[in-house]
């Protein structure tokens, strides 16, 4: 059978997503776990594929891999979670033999911005990106087509951050981070709206690249759903979560003291 | 002149407080920074002293050091903050030549507990520790007197945690962590109240040791006040704070998704 698994990871502790020798990557750690649990014989033999190669530093709540396997369905998530660190498998689906996770219905990215930014400015400028555009000024140069369709961009202020929730079928390399920096520059009054519309119309422009670590791949969706299995999440999730909350207490308490 | 400085640190990245060879400790890093900035010639020459040697893994919002120096008063905090990582100097006081930071008016510790614990149970049991007691069952064995006076223990539920705020003039090694585990065991119904009163009355008992990382040394106070200088806090504070908040977003978002 062929299966698709959905998983989260903390990008701050990896050297990017894509497997490469001598450094710790998300894909590399996942493949090691698949080999160790004997879920696959090899990447090629079992047609292992990843949905999205997120940037170094970026995290994911719901990235997707697919591979062929004979492993027992009900035990896969738990077995993998016991063999990875800082990666959390939480969704399972049995898929068609020709399923390739790169071909998604929609990808959802979230970028975390300073909550002090001008919310209305961000909303005004983000609407410019919605719809079909040539994003050649919002990516690393590449040979292939740079036309993409943004389904929606939602701007909302939450407790600690402004969320920029961006949805579309597929994205170019660095695209979200380049869009984000243009939006921030507009919200800060550093560039006029016209600079963005002209860049989308083709005028060569380089707004620069926003940092990677505030970027999350929130979800990748297909024309089927994943079974969600909370029980397979390992105790390390709760422990790491608590550790991060305690670190947050340190910084917020200090901020109150000196503020 | 002799000065006292107040500082915070993230204990999760250090091998404890006390200086020792070949591992990264809070005190070790501070002494390196004092040497590098030429604020001191040496630990002995400048009578360098620390207030509290916190346990490995524990953090501090307000620990205190003192030393003799000729460095320019107004520039010390900023100069030190430029020469340390994960330590944040934020308070300054000029003190008497014979000032020893170990002799404090009061120390304030905060322990972070799971917010699901029985608040009333914790309150009932914590009142048992207030006042003067022999804490020989709540410390590592030591030769010196184990009688200590707890000024107050406050139990309060905040957003992510229950805070246990414990104040007293001085504490024995591991004392807070041993008190905490006794309180938790009582709140969970694992031990009766009598077990605590008997242990405080001298009956040999070992309730065990709560983990170190949820423990913060919140403050050490004297009969003088520190000047608080927010401007000396380096940009790395804001960056590290943001990084931790973003990691928190990952865990909370994943929790919502699978919960």
CB contacts under 8 A, A 155-184 vs B, are 160-161
Contact residues for A51 (Cβ-Cβ < 8 A; gap 6+): A63, A64, A65, A101, A102, A104, A220
Q: Which residues 221-250 of B are in CB contact (within 8 Å) with A?
A: 228-230, 233, 237, 240-250
Which residues does chain A have within 8 Å of residue B252's beta carbon, measured at their own beta carbons? 241
Cα–Cα distance measured from residue B249 to residue B247, given in angstroms and rounded to the nearest whole number: 5
Assign A235 a pLDDT band (cuts: 50, 70, 90): confident
Confidence of residue A233 (pLDDT cuts 50, 70, 90): confident
Q: Decide if pLDDT at A144 tops 90.
A: no
Count CB neighbours of A27 within 10 A: 22
CATH 3.30.70.660 domain residues, chain B = 106-200
Name the strand (E) or helix (H) holding A108.
strand A106-114
For B168-223, the pLDDT digits (tens) are 999 999 999 999 999 999 999 999 999 999 999 999 999 999 999 999 999 999 99
pLDDT at B135: 95
Check: CB of residue A132 under 8 Å from CB of residue A145. Answer: no
CA distance B198 to chain A (A): 33
The correct CATH number of A2-103+222-258 out of 3.30.70.580, 2.60.40.10, 3.10.129.10, 3.30.565.10 is 3.30.70.580
Percent pLDDT > 70 in chain B is 99
Q: Do A247 and B10 touch (CB under 8 A)?
A: yes
Q: Check whether B165 has a pLDDT greater than 70.
A: yes
Please write the tens of the pLDDT for every residue from B126-146: 999 999 999 999 998 766 899
pLDDT-based confidence at residue A163 (cuts at 50, 70, 90): very high
Q: What is the rounded end-to-end Cα distance, in angstroms, of chain B?
A: 58
Compare CB distances from B246 to A112, A229, A243 and report the shortest one's residue: A112
Where does the pLDDT of residue A141 fall: very low under 50, low under 70, confident under 90, or very high at 90 and above? confident
A156/A119 Cα distance (integer angstroms): 8
Distances (CA, A) of A252 to A98, A245, B164: 49, 10, 17
Cβ separation A254–B228 shorter than 8 A: no
The mean pLDDT of chain A is 95
* Bridge partners, A162 (sequence order): A113, A157
Q: What is the C-alpha separation between A192 and A211, in angstroms, rounded?
A: 22
> E strands, chain B, where?
2-9, 49-50, 59-68, 87-95, 106-114, 131-134, 147-157, 161-168, 215-221, 227-228
Residues in chain B: 259
Tell me which of A8, A249, A259 to substitute to probe the interface with B (most B C-beta atoms closer than 10 Å).
A249
Tell me the percentage of chain A whose pLDDT exceeds 90.
Answer: 92
Contacts of A210 in chain B (CB under 8 A): none
Instruction: Indicate yes or no: CB of B258 within 8 angstroms of CB of A90.
Output: yes
CATH class of B106-200: alpha beta
The share of chain B scoring above pLDDT 90, in percent, equals: 93
pLDDT reported for residue B143? 62
Q: Which of B8, B250, B255 to mutate to test the interface with A (most CBs of A within 10 A)?
A: B250
- What digits encode the pLDDT tens for the residues B97-111? 999 999 999 999 999
As annotated, the residues of chain A forming the CATH 3.30.70.580 domain(s) are: 2-103+222-258
């Amino acid at each position: 059978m062929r299966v698709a698994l959905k998983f989260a990871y903390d990008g701050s502790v990896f050297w990017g997503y894509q497997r490469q020798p001598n450094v710790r990557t998300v894909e590399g750690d996942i493949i090691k776990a698949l080999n160790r649990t004997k879920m696959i014989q090899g990447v090629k033999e079992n047609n292992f594929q990843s949905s999205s190669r997120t940037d170094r530093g970026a995290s994911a709540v719901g990235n997707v891999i697919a591979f062929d396997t004979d492993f027992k369905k009900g035990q896969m998530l738990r077995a993998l979670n016991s063999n990875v660190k800082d990666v959390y498998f939480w969704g399972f689906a049995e898929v068609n033999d020709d399923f390739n996770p790169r071909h998604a219905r929609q990808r959802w990215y979230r970028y975390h911005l300073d909550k002090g930014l001008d919310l209305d400015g961000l909303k005004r400028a983000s609407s410019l990106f919605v719809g079909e555009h040539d994003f050649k000024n919002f990516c690393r140069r590449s040979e292939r087509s740079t036309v993409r369709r943004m389904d929606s961009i939602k701007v909302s202020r939450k407790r600690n951050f402004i969320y920029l929730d961006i949805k579309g079928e597929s994205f170019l390399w660095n695209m979200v981070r380049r869009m984000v920096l243009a939006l921030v520059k507009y919200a800060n009054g550093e560039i006029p709206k016209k600079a963005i519309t002209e860049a989308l119309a083709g005028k060569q422009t380089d707004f620069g690249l926003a940092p990677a670590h505030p970027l999350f791949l929130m979800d990748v969706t297909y024309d089927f759903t994943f079974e969600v299995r909370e029980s397979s999440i390992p105790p390390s999730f709760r422990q790491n979560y608590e550790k991060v909350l305690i670190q947050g207490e340190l910084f917020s308490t200090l901020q109150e003291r000196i503020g």
